Amino acid sequence: MPTFEVILRDPGPSGRGSGERRVETVEGADAYQQEGPMTTFFRRGEGRAVIDSWSTRVASFRTADLLAVRRCEAAAAQLRAVAVTG
């Protein structure tokens, strides 16, 4: 299952933005969509290609705070080539 890296603007204590960025990792989600002022990450139902009533909400973030969303294939990141000798 893919992993998402969400880069957020840190709102800071005043709520106006501190200029800092933070990265949140969302595991267990395979899709996301905007829902009003929030962007929500979902795990879709088995064999489903769309987000529907069988999908499970995994995490939500304020859309206004999102700077970037990156999808990472968790299994692909751990694989590497290995030489085989006979």
Q: Does 20 map to a domain?
A: yes
3-class state of residue 50 by DSSP: coil
Hunting for tokens 């999808």 — which residue is that? 71
Residue 12 corresponds to which tokens in the numbers above?
């800071």
Q: Does 84 map to a domain?
A: no
Q: Does 32 map to a domain?
A: yes
Q: Does 70 map to a domain?
A: yes
Q: Does 86 map to a domain?
A: no
Q: Does 17 map to a domain?
A: yes
For the stretch 27-79, pLDDT in tens is 999 999 999 999 999 999 888 899 998 999 999 999 999 999 999 986 554 55
Q: Which domain holds residue 35?
A: 2-78
Round to the nearest angstrom and report the end-to-end CA distance of the chain. Answer: 34
Count: domains in the chain:
1
pTM of the model: 0.75
Q: What gap in Å lies between CA 62 and CA 59, rounded to an integer?
A: 11
